[in-house]
Amino acid sequence: MRIGIGHDTHRLGPDRPLILGGLKIEHPRGLVGHSDADVVLHALTDALLGAAGLGDIGDAYPDTDPKYKDCDSRVFVVESLQRIKDKGYRLVNVDLTIFAQEPKLGPIKARMREHLAAMLGLPVDAVNVKAKTGEKVGAIGRAEAIGCHVAVLIDTI
Ligand code: MG
């Protein structure tokens, strides 16, 4: 068995859709980045790549590459999962924490969990989604950014 961890933070800005965990969420501001800036899927991609010793999301999907402009970040997750399988591993479970002062994520955690489980081909029980505010401290607490931590476990097929 091997473990992987991932972390990401993106700034919130105007005139952007808010995409989190592959879901479009109604909110006046969205995350700013080269791709769709889905902070959850970026941290998940890094955790997957890390578990299999495959480097990081910046190596695999450079933000200088025009191919990834406004890209759907589900592509990064699905491709990274395939690379893990190609190395002879399967994903066992995912545990993640989203740090957001706003929007309130309590009402969408269950939907995100189901969406991620379907994307990863895992039972819902093997994907856990937690949410915390920034307690009004720092950039996340001022609702200037959203962050995410992810841990994954992989095992030989
Ligand atoms: Mg990112």
Average pLDDT, the chain: 96
- 156: CA distance to ligand 1 center in Å? 28
- 153: CA distance to ligand 1 center in Å? 21
Helix (H, G, I), strand (E, B) or coil at 134: coil
pLDDT in tens, 96-122: 999 999 999 999 999 999 999 999 999
- 7: CA distance to ligand 1 center in Å? 9
- 74: CA distance to ligand 1 center in Å? 12
- 35: CA distance to ligand 1 center in Å? 8
**Distance separating alpha carbons of residues 48 and 65, to the nearest angstrom:** 21
Q: Choose among 21, 46, 150: nearest CA to 95.
A: 150
pLDDT score, position 131: 97
Sheet holding 145-156, edge to edge: 30-31, 2-13, 145-156, 89-99, 127-132
pLDDT in tens, 35-90: 999 999 999 999 999 999 999 999 999 888 888 888 999 999 999 999 999 999 99
- 32: CA distance to ligand 1 center in Å? 9
- 48: CA distance to ligand 1 center in Å? 14
Mean pLDDT over 140-157 rounds to 97
In the block, which residue shows the tokens 């299999």? 52
Confidence of residue 19 (pLDDT cuts 50, 70, 90): very high
pLDDT score, position 64: 87
